[in-house]
Every structure is written in C-alpha cells, then in structure tokens.
Amino acid sequence: MTFPTATISISALQHNFARVKHYAPKSKVMSVIKADAYGHGVIAVAEALKQSDAFAVARLSEAVSLRDHGVTLPIVILEGVNTADDFQLAAEFNLSPVIHLSSQVDLLSSITLIQPLRFNWIMVDSGMHRLGIRPEDIETALSRLKVSGNMNDEFGLMSHFANSDLVGDIRNQHQLEHMLSLKEKTGLPVCLSNSAAVLAYPESHLDWVRPGLMLYGISPFAETTSAEHGLLPVMQLTTRLISTYDLNTGEQVGYGGDWTAKQPSRIGVASIGYGDGYSRHLSNQSEVVIQGQRCPVIGRISMDTICINLTDCIQANVGDEVLLWGRSELMVEEIANYAGTIPYELVTVLSKRVNRDVKDG
C-alpha cells in the first residue's frame, strides 16, 4: 500500500466543468491545466475534460507532452515562446503560443514556419502589467502578424485580471473596458475570465472563459467556500498513521522541541512532510481528520512526517487513514489559510512522491 495518496475524482472534475458551463453558458471554455493540472495529474485531467473547447498550459514543454499523450484539442501556451526553434516546434505540434511581446512579432516576421500557426491569441496588457502588449499597440501587432504568413486568420484577444478575486474592485472594470473597446475595434473574440471572474463577474465572460482553480473544486475567494459555488473538491490528500505513543507532561515533540505536552498526551505520527509538499509553514498550525475527528498538527513539520495530538482521539491506531485535505470536513482552502498561502500553491507543489490515484474513470 502506497501513501501519501492524492485521490483524484474524475466525476468531481466533470461536475465542476458543468458548473463553468452553468455560470458562463454562452462562452467557450479554455480549461487551464498548467502545472500538471494544478498538481492533479494532467493526463487524466485532460482526458476527463475533453468537452473543453481548448486547453491552456504555461509552457511549450507542457504542451508538447500533451500532444505526445494523444491530446488533439487546441492547446494554448500562455507564456508564449521566444525563439525561432520553439516557434517551429509549436507549428510542428499544432500548438498555439500566445503573442505577448513585440519581439515575438518581429521574430515571426523574419522566419518561415513549416506550417502557419492556428488558433492564435494575442495577450493584451489591460492593466495587470505582467505579460502583454499595450492596448494601443494591438492593431499594429495584429496586422504585422497577418502579413507574416506564419499565422492563419483565427485570431483572438486575451487578457488577465489582476484583482478578480476582489469582487467589485474598480480595477476589474477598467481592464474589462479596455477589452470591450478592443473587441469593438477589431471584431475579434475575447478571452478574459479566470475562475474568480467566471464565478463573480458575468459581464466579463464574453466569447471565451479561461478557468483553472474552480475546475479542481477550489474557491478562488478568501471569503467563500467552494460549496457555496456548487463546486466539489477533486483532490483528497490522505496518508496513514505510522506510530502512536504517550508523552508525559513537560516532554517535547520534534525538531526544536516546538511543542510541549501540558498534560499526559497521546501523540500520533503520520507519513507526510514537506518532502511531499505538505508545507513547513503548517508547523504547529494545521489540523487533520482521523476517524472523522479533527486533531491538531503539533511541532515542526519534518521532511517525511508530521506529529499529531491524539489526546482527544484516543482510539486512533497505527494504519488509520489521516485526511490532510479534500473532504467537506477539511478543505484545502482552510489549510492554505493556516499556511499563510493560497490553495493554488498547496496543490501545485505536491511532490512526485505523492501517489496519484485516479478514481471513477
């Protein structure tokens, strides 16, 4: 028996995809499956989400790997590429690198690809100031790309919100206005909304939506749970208790002796640690569920193990399942809060040592 295990529910994934369609019924869906589908295992996720109209990943290598595994849907490379060789590779594998920089336009104007790129997206910097071409330079870029002969005539405009998790923030409105004005000028389809905007900003849905996190059943908002949006957690992270023992008052647990028994205590050790991606920031901060009961994580997180206070869960035994996150009694959003980070980080940093177990399909 291998543990820790991230159990991936295909039916939950498909349920959440249906929620995207529910929120944005008129938009096409570009499912974001970068970073190994947010740590969920990209091949199984791509297979489960083949009703998508397209996929998006961050990097060329992620896209090539999907093609190698037989994925035939359009695949957008959100970071784009910057060399002639990489553009050739993209053309060869029928991939769609986003154009976000004028030097990419220069490069495409100076080379001849083995075949024109298809399903082309230009990233507009509508206010986030990360990747993108400024709105006033879009029409020039577009006409240069058209004459380059290296792209067919399927073009769209993409942009990304910097503050979509802040519902009602005026900066979202400003970004949307830039995109609406470009849509009117160029007549091109627009793709703008990430999960938070899909859930809370219907005016921004437009032609294409681009959700990631919500597909995995996680809320992008600090103040709402995934259940409130009708989403189901896709990943359940579990491991096993590998030891239980008793401590006397005053005895300390783990590196640095960061936890001291204030009374006679029962302690458990579970097999997971920062070497699996269970954040060290959870030292003395987190909780787990054993036999349906919540128990505090105590002391420092080690590379391979965590210590748990079992004093109120005295019936727990070696071999018992330990839930780290992913059921309604303990969601990853809560654990992210304890770690002082966002759930995106917790799921994407799970290491290879965590077994992925795909269920129901």
Ligand X SMILES: *Cc1c(COP(=O)(O)O)cnc(C)c1O
96 forms part of the interface with ligand X (CB under 6 A): no
Q: Which residue is it, tokens 């976000």?
A: 100
CA distance 117 to 221: 36
Stretch that binds ligand X, among 16-24, 182-190, 211-219, 221-229 (CB under 6 A): 211-219
What distance in Å separates the CA atoms of residue 204 and residue 211, rounded to the nearest whole number? 13
Query: Is 128 marked as binding a ligand?
Result: no
Q: Does 210 bind ligand X (CB under 6 A)?
A: yes
**Torsion-angle region of residue 355: left (phi > 0), alpha (psi -120 to 50) or beta?**
beta
Q: Which of 194, 219, 239, 286 binds ligand X (CB under 6 A)?
A: 194
Residue number of the CB closest to ligand X reads 212
Structure tokens at 297: 């994580």
Q: Could you say whether residue 190 binds ligand X (CB under 6 A)? A: no
For 57, the enclosing helix (H) or strand (E) is strand 54-57
Query: Min. distance of Cβ 106 from ligand X in angstroms?
Result: 23
**Is 343 one of the binding residues for ligand X (CB under 6 A)?**
no
3-state secondary structure of 92: helix
Shortest Å distance, C-beta 3 to ligand X? 28
Residue 4's nearest CA partner among 233, 236, 238, 291 is 238
C-alpha to C-alpha distances, 53 to 24, 140, 306, 315, nearest whole angstrom: 13, 28, 42, 50
The reply on whether position 32 binds ligand X by CB under 6 A is yes
Marked catalytic residue, from 21, 50, 255, 359: 255
Site membership for ligand X, residue 27 (CB under 6 A): no
Annotated binding residue 134: no
| The only residue of 9, 27, 120, 195 in contact with ligand X, by rule CB under 6 A | 195
Coil, strand or helix at 22: helix
| Catalytic residue status for 34 | yes
| CA 310 to the chain's CA centroid | 33
Q: In this structure, are residues 339 and 279 in contact, taking their beta carbons and an 8 Å threshold?
A: yes
Catalytic residue among 34, 38, 201, 278: 34
Q: Is 64 in the site for ligand X (CB under 6 A)?
A: no
Residue 220 in contact with ligand X, rule: CB under 6 A: yes
SS3 content of the chain, % helix, strand, coil (to 5): 35, 25, 40
**For 129, which DSSP code?**
-
As measured in angstroms, the least distance from the Cβ of 212 to ligand X is: 3
| SS3 assignment, position 256 | helix
CB of 107 to ligand X, least distance (A): 21
Per-residue x/- track, 134-153, ligand X (CB under 6 A): --------------------
For this structure, is 352 an active site residue? no
Residue list 267-286, contact with ligand X (CB under 6 A): none
User: What whole-number distance in Å separates Cα of residue 192 and Cα of residue 2?
Assistant: 41
Residues annotated as part of the active site: 34, 255
Binding site members for substrate:
130, 303
Which residues contact ligand X (rule: CB under 6 A)? 32, 34, 78, 160, 194-195, 210-213, 220
